[in-house]
Amino acid sequence: MTVGDGRYGSDAAYLHAQGVDVIATSLTDERLRYAYEKGHIPVYRAENAERISLTDGAVDFVLCKEAYHHFPRPPIALYEMLRVARMAVVLIEPLDNSKILDGVKRKLKTLIRGDREQQFEPSGNFLYRLNIRELGKLMTAIGETAIAYKGINDFFHGRFANYAAHELNIGALLTHSGITAQNALSRAGLLGFGLGCVVVFKGEPRADVCKALHVAGFKMIPLPRNPYVQ
Ligand SMILES: C[S@@+](CC[C@H](N)C(=O)[O-])C[C@H]1O[C@@H](n2cnc3c(N)ncnc32)[C@H](O)[C@@H]1O
């Protein structure tokens, strides 16, 4: 199930195209209905991430991409997503992991894009960036065993938005260069990754899953075990 998939169910449409059996959900279903009628998604429903109407363990996985940081009470949504997921919740979200050059990046964003506000978004919400350490603590407190994490950088400038991403053109070239430069700095530990793909497991992840994630560049973070609970 996707959560916060209100851009015409694009996350579910992608998964559906990969052969995944998926339910698209978002706070309202107008755009989802349109995507359904156009044949892009197989099933949809309106769901508030903070109060999901499904039963416990109703779906295998929940994917929440670029939506968690909009929620007014993010941990409540996280507990809800964990409740309805049987195996894991996958978040693809902005990260809170500032490194030495992040101040410079913020200044560049103001210079290049004219960004004046970096804590609140025009849609009205506080930009709740995910902190991996804090997420690990939340999950340890409810007895979960592991999370997996992979850093991602992106680059967006409105001027390049209409250039084709996979063709040779100035927009694609500058976008790819922006990502490559950030990736190099992030790998050198000088710049925090702007985004992260985080897998929050329910129960112990299987060895083959850990191996596949490792091959895909994820870092496994085992959570501390509580010695007082058998
Ligand atoms: C930036 S869009 C992301 C859409 C899509 N996941 C993507 O990555 O393109 C954020 C979405 O979260 C939805 N949203 C905001 N608050 C929500 C809530 N409490 N429950 C479910 N969805 C919510 C919005 O309606 C919007 O569709």
pLDDT in tens, 41-51: 999 999 999 99
Q: Is the CB of 27 under 6 A from ligand 1?
A: yes
How far apart are the C-alpha atoms of 25 and 6, rounded to whole Å? 7
Phi, psi dihedral angles at 164 (to 5 degrees): -70, 135
Q: Which strands form 24-26's sheet, in the order they lie side by side?
A: 44-46, 24-26, 2-3, 59-65, 85-94, 195-201, 146-152, 219-222
Q: What is the pTM of this model?
A: 0.95
Distance from Cα 189 to the centre of ligand 1, integer Å:
31
Distance from Cα 37 to the centre of ligand 1, integer Å:
20
Neighbours of 139 (CB within 10 A): 21
How far apart are the C-alpha atoms of 85 and 187, rounded to whole Å? 32
Domain residue spans of the chain: 10-222
Q: Is the CB of 29 under 6 A from ligand 1?
A: no
Q: Residues 149-203: pLDDT tens digits?
A: 999 999 999 999 999 999 999 999 999 999 999 999 999 999 999 999 999 999 9
Element at 10 (helix H, strand E): helix 10-17
Q: Write the class of the CATH domain 10-222.
A: alpha beta
Residuewise pLDDT in 10s, the chain (230 residues): 999 999 999 999 999 999 999 999 999 999 999 999 999 999 999 999 999 999 999 999 999 999 999 999 999 999 999 999 999 999 999 999 999 999 999 999 899 888 888 899 998 999 999 999 999 999 999 999 999 999 999 999 999 999 999 999 999 999 999 999 999 999 999 999 999 999 999 999 999 999 999 999 999 999 999 999 87
CB-CB contact of 14 with 63 (8 Å)? no
Q: Is the CB of 14 under 6 A from ligand 1?
A: no
Q: Is the CB of 46 under 6 A from ligand 1?
A: no
Element at 32 (helix H, strand E): helix 30-37
